[in-house]
Amino acid sequence: MRMRRFLLAVLIGVALGALLIPRLGDEDDDAPSSAPAITVRDAWVRATVGSGGMTGAFMVIENNGGTADRLVSVGVDAEIAGAVEIHEMTIGEDQVMRMRPIEGIDVPAGGNIELKPGGYHIMLLELQRDLTPDDTLTLTLTFESGAQVEVSAPVRAME
């Protein structure tokens, strides 16, 4: 009697396992359509004026996927800038605009986020040389999902 109960338990276990395996397979099939699909357009970097040692990079980040993602870090050639931060610009209670480093920028599923002067931007710090309008920088954007996007950003003077 005990043996039969044990066998029954094993059979149920096998049956449940058989049910789970095809489900996992289905999720794999769905993965490509729900994976984030990040694209970047209209990227540019502000030409340096004087010896500030820093400048901003701006762009539109689009998420064509079905899952929200988050820009978490940006890399650039160390011969261009010694450090890169993600910044946000806000108006304080004293009505003075200030920028501050933030952990990341959310990019909603099926939406986009604009990095622009006066708002979110990428801050290039410890510049190793002047950036003039005939330059083009390559920025590497890393997202929380693990996606990496290389962006070619021409240097432009601020109008």
Residues 6+ apart with CB under 8 A from 10: none
Q: Are 74 and 142 in contact (CB under 8 A)?
A: yes
Establish if 60 lies at the interface with Cu ion (CB under 5 A).
no
We find the least distance from the C-beta atom of residue 110 to Cu ion, in angstroms, to be: 28
x-or-dash string of contact with Cu ion, 84-123, rule CB under 5 A: ---x-----------x-----------------------x
* Rounded CA separation 79/98 (Å): 28
* Rounded CA separation 21/138 (Å): 43
Question: CB-wise, 36 or 115, nearer to Cu ion?
Answer: 115
Q: Which residue has the tokens 């701006």?
A: 58
We find the least distance from the C-beta atom of residue 49 to Cu ion, in angstroms, to be: 15
Q: Determine the residue with CB nearest Cu ion.
A: 87
* Rounded CA separation 99/89 (Å): 4
Question: CB-wise, 109 or 119, nearer to Cu ion?
Answer: 119
Question: CB-wise, 99 or 147, nearer to Cu ion?
Answer: 99
* Rounded CA separation 100/86 (Å): 8
Question: CB-wise, 68 or 99, nearer to Cu ion?
Answer: 99
* Rounded CA separation 48/38 (Å): 28
We find the least distance from the C-beta atom of residue 75 to Cu ion, in angstroms, to be: 17
We find the least distance from the C-beta atom of residue 30 to Cu ion, in angstroms, to be: 39
- Sole window of 29-37, 41-49, 71-79, 82-90 interacting with Cu ion (rule: CB under 5 A): 82-90
The maximal CA–CA distance of the chain, rounded, in angstroms, is: 89
Sites of contact with Cu ion (CB under 5 A): 87, 99, 123
